[in-house]
Amino acid sequence: MKHANILKKVITALNTNLPNPGNDQVMLRVEDKAVEVSKQNFHKIEPVISDKKIAFIDGGNAELISAPNFSVHFIRLAYCIFQKNKRIQSRQQHFYVLATSSVKEGKIMYKCQIFQGKAVPDEADLVFEATDETLRHGLRHFSISKLGGIARRFAELRMATELCRELEPGSVIVLDGTLEAAVTNEKKYLDELFNAGLDRNVLVTSLAKTTGLLSDKANSFNAVLNELGPEGIWYYHPVTEIKASSYQADIYFVKLHQKSEHVFRFELFKKQQAGDVLGILAANSKDMVFPGYPYGLIITDRLARVSNREKEYLITQLSTVAADDFDKLKRYVNSTNAHHILDRIS
């Protein structure tokens, strides 16, 4: 049977299994209070050009070498600040992370060392049991390679905290992602950020490019809102009442441009008020390369991203610096790189 005929059957089966949007509800956890989808929860957004400074923060990382018992990452942080919808400041900074494994009291442990950089997390917060329940999948220990992303996340939060202390009262912080403390020790960095935001009267927010939220009818919650939402620019709120102490946020869903095909998840520290921040973000989301996504986050992503070319250059640098030791390291690396060799052969 030709591929087209098989794929037609796949699509038919998919459409059969997709539920129709209706009286959907969404809950993040069992203890959270769900709010039924209602057209009354859609609210119009008016774009606003404001004197308020709005700082966008993001990070990127590349794993340079890894084995089951070690991993080396290059991490870059970036921010850009907009005022009256114009970029007035931006900055990049970077650091390296070495993650290694050891045994302590019969348990496999991972720890990190950080080399160079500002706004970096504390090394003591980057020590994990290999079976940490917030990181593992299934019954096995999690991959040591994950520590690069964790270090980057903690560093993004610390950079946001430092910016909070530098910005004028009334300014806004926008992180890429969510405000949930999902990983061991992450709550410390979020609490630092929230406290700085309250002390300086700086609004702490985030915008997630993707979300896997499902409704109680197994629907994509984003898709439900996109279908039921009105024309134009809007936000949807309330969504759910979060009760967990690890998630100090109020959740919105937003469509920030009338031509946007995307609905994004926006979060706000729950002890603060949104004010005109959604209007400011809507005014910043008119770039037709990605309508409905804040231009500040597009720029910050570019500043933070580690390209494949740069990654290959850094790997070459690492192998040159390692010299004779690189042959020893390769014996460890070869335990995990067979798949990459087959990819190159293909």
The reported pTM is 0.89
Question: Does residue 11 register a pLDDT over 80?
Answer: no
Pairing of strands 203-208, 172-176: parallel
Q: Summarize the confidence of residues 59-68 as an average pLDDT.
A: 92
User: If pLDDT is split at 50, 70 and 90, which confidence band does 338 have?
Assistant: very low
Residues 295 and 284: beta-carbon distance below 8 Å: yes
- Determine the pLDDT at residue 220: 74
Residues 6+ apart with CB under 8 A from 242: 28, 29, 32, 249, 250, 251, 270
Indicate the range of 31-40, 71-80, 88-97, 165-174 predicted with least confidence: 31-40
- Percent of the chain at pLDDT > 70 equals 85
User: If pLDDT is split at 50, 70 and 90, which confidence band does 77 have?
Assistant: very high
CA distance 289 to 291: 6
pLDDT tens for 211-258 read 767 666 667 777 788 888 899 999 999 988 888 889 999 999 999 999
**Structural domain boundaries of the chain?**
43-306, 309-345
Question: Does residue 196 register a pLDDT over 80?
Answer: yes
Q: Summarize the confidence of residues 100-106 as an average pLDDT.
A: 93
Residue 168 has what DSSP assignment?
Answer: P
Could you tell me which CATH number the domain at 43-306 has? Answer: 3.30.2170
Q: Is 182 left (phi over 0), alpha (psi -120 to 50) or beta?
A: alpha
